[in-house]
Amino acid sequence: MGKKGKKEKKGRGAEKTAAKMEKKVSKRSRKEEEDLEALIAHFQALDARKTRIVETPCSPPSPRLNASLSAHPEKDELILFGGEYFNGQKTFFYNELYIYNIRKDAWTKVEIPNPPPRRCAHQAVVVPQGGGQLWIFGGEFASPDGEQFYHYRDLWVLHLATKTWEQVSVNDDHVLLQFSCLFIAPEEALGFSLLPVECRVTERKYPDRSA
């Protein structure tokens, strides 16, 4: 067999090895995702036991990162949701909701039935409709050892006036949620500093033309 034939055979062997490795990695990834989904389902089952709203004055929340902290559109309050904490051995994820009253310098833990699954690194925005709404999209969950990751693509809204969570389902049409804010510059501001004075969320539907 000539050098050319040996190279071709070697190349085909490398391709087969790469294909086997890709298949193995893909299978392992599916298994890891299934494990994480089972863990998420377990935590959701625990959350399902909550049947009423419980507000408890508390000390500041435990240490965490990648949580969202949003300003209430109508009150002097800050809304803290989610986050993660690594203690050096294990990673913890949260779907806790805390309210900080700025004037009173006081924290309150608010437990609401049917919250979003535990997550961190999600996107959050507050809009004034209906007495105020906190919108949550996406985020990340991981195994306790931090070796496996799951990324959300779900959309939730917390109705601040009634303190109720709602998962927003998207139908067959493409739904675009547009967040828009009106900004003004205060008289004493220097440079290009701007302050948001009003934010709104608008839902627009577009026919699915992918079929």
pLDDT digits (tens, 9 = 90+) for 108-117: 999 999 999 9
pLDDT at 8: 61
Q: Does 68 score more than 90 pLDDT? A: yes
Q: Is the pTM of this model over 0.75?
A: no
User: What percent of the chain stands above pLDDT 90?
Assistant: 61
Q: What contacts 14, CB < 8 A, 6 or more positions away?
A: none
Residues 6+ apart with CB under 8 A from 134: 70, 79, 81, 124, 125, 126, 157, 158, 160
Predicted confidence band at 207 (pLDDT cuts at 50, 70, 90)?
A: very low
* C-beta neighbour count of 85 within 10 angstroms: 17
Residues 80, 63 contacting (CB under 8 angstroms): no
Determine contact, residues 123/66, Cβ cutoff 8 Å: no
192: left (phi over 0), alpha (psi -120 to 50) or beta: alpha
The pLDDT, as a whole number, for residue 9 is 59
DSSP character at residue 21? H
CA gap 119, 141 in Å, rounded: 5
Task: Give the strand order in the sheet containing 133-142.
Answer: 123-127, 133-142, 149-159, 164-167
Rounded to 5°, the CA angle 16-18-24 comes to 105
Contact 133, 199 (CB under 8 A): no
Q: Strand pairing partners for 202? A: 178
pLDDT at 12 over 70: no
Q: How many other C-beta atoms are found inside a 10 Å radius of the C-beta of residue 156? A: 24
Question: Any idea which of 51-60, 72-81, 167-176 has the lowest mean pLDDT?
Answer: 167-176
What pLDDT score does 114 carry? Answer: 95
% of the chain surpassing 70 pLDDT:
66
- Structure confidence at residue 118 as a pLDDT band (50, 70, 90): very high
- Predicted confidence band of residue 81 (pLDDT cuts 50, 70, 90): very high
DSSP 52-63: S-EEEEESSPPP
Inform me whether the pLDDT recorded for 209 exceeds 80. no
71 within 8 A of 134, measured Cβ to Cβ = no
Looking at per-residue pLDDT, the higher value among 138 and 193 belongs to 138
- For the chain, list the domains and their CATH numbers: 50-169 (2.120.10.80), 171-211 (no CATH)
Residue 70 confidence (pLDDT): 98
Task: Count other Cβ atoms within 10 Å, centred on residue 99.
Answer: 18
Other Cβ atoms less than 10 A from the Cβ of 197: the count is 9
